[in-house]
Amino acid sequence: MRYARQVLLDGWDVSAQVRLKASTAIIVGAGGLGCPASETLARAGVGHIHLIDDDTIEMSNLQRQTLFTASNVGQNKAETASEVLNQINPLIEVSYSMQRLDAQSMDDLSDLIAQKRHESLVPHSADHSTILLLDCTDNFAIRQLLNEISVVERLPLLSASAIAMTGQLALYEPYKNTGCYYCVFGEILTNKSVEQNCANSGVLASTTTVMGNMQANLALQYLGLGHNPLSGQLLNWDGKHMSQHNLRFKRDYSCKVCAGQIG
Ligand SMILES: [Zn+2]
């Protein structure tokens, strides 16, 4: 009953729903993007959602971080979001880590990935991973760590960003020779220009909700059907003019992250 409207969809059937149930979404960042993305994935029936965030909820977050209320200020984001997701859909497994993703906690993430691969009823393959990494952070250092995990573990990385009234979205599958996050953004990252984020540039309440749900839209298609309609493309959304365009990117064969790992 819970998923009846979804199973009715053209191109979506019980087997797609079963694949969702067998899937794990590892979501780094339970803020402006992580709240709407995780909520939609929980409602849609993704079997296991794991949230990672060491941040606490502040009053200035409530404008856009849709899983939190004023009574949650001061609480940890990953823990509070997990409780809400559990209430929204008690049929799925929700877990969380209150650790910041860094070199040390990356080992814990690798353990979780190994455990999920071992448990999965649907075999893990390069063509269709049952584990999806979601980058919902606004921090370049954490993004780069996640990209390294994606390359080393051969997992797809669904990366979204939102700032002011604009957003970007890409689903990197580096093991398919289509490039990684660093192939696209490496030069910008090495230039070390001032990092733009919501705290220093502002963001409209709707921008993160739109981008978080675009991320969920792509995650559901990938996990349920194995589709990546953005293969080799970076989607750019402009909320001011209500327009969208996709840029094509290619693998950088001298990329310092994926060149040594993927032949
Ligand atoms: Zn690369």
Which pTM does this prediction carry?
0.95
33: pLDDT strictly greater than 90: yes
Is the model's pLDDT at 253 over the cut of 90?
Answer: yes
- Distance in Å, CA 31 to ligand 1 centroid: 27
Taking only the tens place, the pLDDT of each residue in 105-121 is 888 899 999 998 888 76
202 CA to centre of ligand 1 in angstroms: 30
Give per-residue pLDDT as tens, 119-162.
876 666 667 799 999 999 989 899 999 999 999 999 999 999 99
Mean pLDDT of the chain: 93
**Tokens at 26, concatenated:** 């590892």
Domain enclosing residue 152, as ranges: 4-248
β-partners of residue 48 are 24, 93
Q: Is residue 205 part of a domain?
A: yes
CATH number of the domain where residue 101 is located:
3.40.50.720
Within a domain: residue 254? Answer: no
Let me know if residue 262 belongs to a domain. Answer: no
In a domain, 260, yes or no: no
Residue 186 CA, ligand 1 centroid: distance in Å: 8
- Catalytic residue numbers read 198
Name the domain count of the chain: 1
Q: Which residues 6+ apart lie within 8 Å of 23 measured at CB?
A: 46, 47, 48, 130, 131, 132, 223, 224
Q: Is residue 213 part of a domain?
A: yes
259 alpha carbon to ligand 1 midpoint, in Å?
Answer: 6
pLDDT tens sequence across 66-109: 999 999 999 999 999 999 999 999 999 999 999 999 888 888 89
Q: According to the model, what pLDDT value does residue 124 have?
A: 62
- Assigned domain for 120 exists: yes
* Separation CA 79–CA 94 (nearest Å): 10
